[in-house]
């Protein structure tokens, strides 16, 4: 299902951007209101709900013991999945993951993985045999634009709230003590900043309508220390070198604001 922005709305958004204005009155580099709640799912070991404007996502973390990958026998495992619920957007359809769903999960996963957010060394229970596997499930509840930043924040918040049962080995089996838990070992903090290009203007935290009329998109993942850990280009048209440098510089400064919400 294709959702096309009416031509009059498209022209209005473009004309506003040319004059450094937006439909909702924000500056071009200003986020909508952000709220973060943790421990919103009682059955998950870690969870969070994030709202950016009217965009809303929920993340749940489910750890379980499993075998490590052969090439990393002493490291825990991260698995990120995304479900775009049809109630969140009329263009979302039930069934196998769409290209957009796969891209969203991969970009968020890359930010987590490349920032070394989770100390995977400390998720090893028995080298070569048993490690903690973290299943990160993203659920899109209401799509009003900029899912990337909302999901990255939600994953970060959910991981920081995650508790693992104490694990030990007895008679060659893993024994879990759910009465005694430990905090998930966290090394870092990370946030994603998403920009779209409308005309010759770069706009941060796009609304759904702004995303639909944009010619290009750039996601920039940055750690709290200012290190770039993920980038993803989307959209039809290319970005200039100056565009990319602007987005990176702005993302580094905005990340400091975003991690404050955590």
Nearest to 77 by CA among 66, 90, 62, 88: 66
For 210-241, the pLDDT digits (tens) are: 999 999 999 999 999 999 999 999 999 999 99
Q: How far apart are CA 49 and CA 245, in angstroms?
A: 31
Range 147-171 average pLDDT: 94
Report the pLDDT value the prediction gives residue 27, as an integer from 0 to 100: 96
The answer, yes or no, to whether residue 58 has pLDDT greater than 90, is yes
Q: Is 192 in contact with 230 (CB distance < 8 Å)?
A: yes
- pLDDT at residue number 207: 96
> Which DSSP state fits 118?
B
Q: Which two tokens stand for residue 7?
A: 């031509």
pLDDT at residue 63 is higher than 50: yes
pLDDT of 146 > 80? The answer is yes
What per-residue confidence (pLDDT) applies to 173?
87
* Range list of H helices, 28-131: 99-114
In this prediction, residue 172 has a pLDDT band, given cuts at 50, 70 and 90, of confident
Q: What is the pLDDT of residues 45-57, one digit of tens each?
A: 999 999 999 999 9
Summarised one tens digit per residue, pLDDT across range 162-171 is: 999 999 888 8
Distance, in Å, from the CA atom of 43 to the CA atom of 63, rounded to the nearest integer, reads: 12
Global pTM reads: 0.93
Q: What's the pLDDT at 62?
A: 96
Mean pLDDT for the chain overall: 93
Does residue 260 contact residue 224 with C-beta atoms inside 8 Å?
no
Across the range 21-36, mean pLDDT stands at 96
Residue pLDDT, tens place only, 71-97: 999 999 999 999 998 889 888 888 888
| Residue 5: pLDDT over 70 | no
pLDDT score recorded for residue 9: 84
- With a CB cutoff of 8 Å and minimum separation 6, the contacts of 78 are 109, 112, 113, 118, 120, 133, 134, 136
pLDDT of 152 above 60: yes
- DSSP code at position 39: -
**What integer pLDDT is reported at residue 127 of this predicted model?**
93
Query: Helices then strands (H, E): number in the chain?
Result: 5, 12
**pLDDT per position as a tens digit, 94-141:** 888 889 999 999 999 999 999 999 999 999 999 999 999 999 999 999
């Amino acid at each position: 299902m294709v959702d096309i922005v009416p031509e009059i709305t498209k022209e209005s958004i473009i004309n506003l951007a040319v004059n450094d204005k937006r439909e909702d009155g924000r500056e071009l580099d200003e986020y909508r209101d952000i709220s973060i709640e943790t421990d919103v799912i009682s059955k998950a070991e870690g969870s969070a709900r994030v709202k950016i404007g009217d965009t809303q996502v929920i993340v749940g973390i489910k750890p379980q013991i499993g075998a490590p990958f052969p090439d990393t026998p002493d490291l825990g495992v991260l698995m990120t999945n995304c479900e775009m619920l049809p109630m969140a957007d009329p263009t979302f359809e039930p069934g196998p993951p769409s290209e957009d769903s796969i891209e969203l999960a991969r970009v968020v996963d890359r930010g987590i993985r490349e920032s070394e957010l989770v100390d995977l060394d400390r998720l090893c229970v028995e080298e070569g045999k048993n490690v903690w596997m973290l299943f990160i499930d993203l659920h899109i509840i209401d799509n009003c634009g900029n899912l990337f930043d909302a999901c990255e924040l939600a994953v970060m918040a959910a991981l920081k709230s995650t508790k693992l049962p104490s694990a030990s080995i007895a008679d060659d089996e893993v024994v879990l003590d759910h009465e005694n838990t430990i905090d998930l070992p966290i090394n870092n903090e990370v946030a994603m900043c998403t920009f779209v290009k409308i005309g010759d203007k770069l706009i941060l935290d796009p609304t759904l309508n702004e995303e639909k009329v944009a010619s290009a998109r750039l996601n920039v993942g940055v750690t709290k220390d200012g290190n770039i850990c993920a980038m993803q280009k989307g959209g039809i048209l290319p970005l200039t070198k100056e565009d990319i440098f602007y987005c990176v510089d702005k993302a580094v400064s905005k990340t400091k604001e975003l991690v404050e919400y955590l």
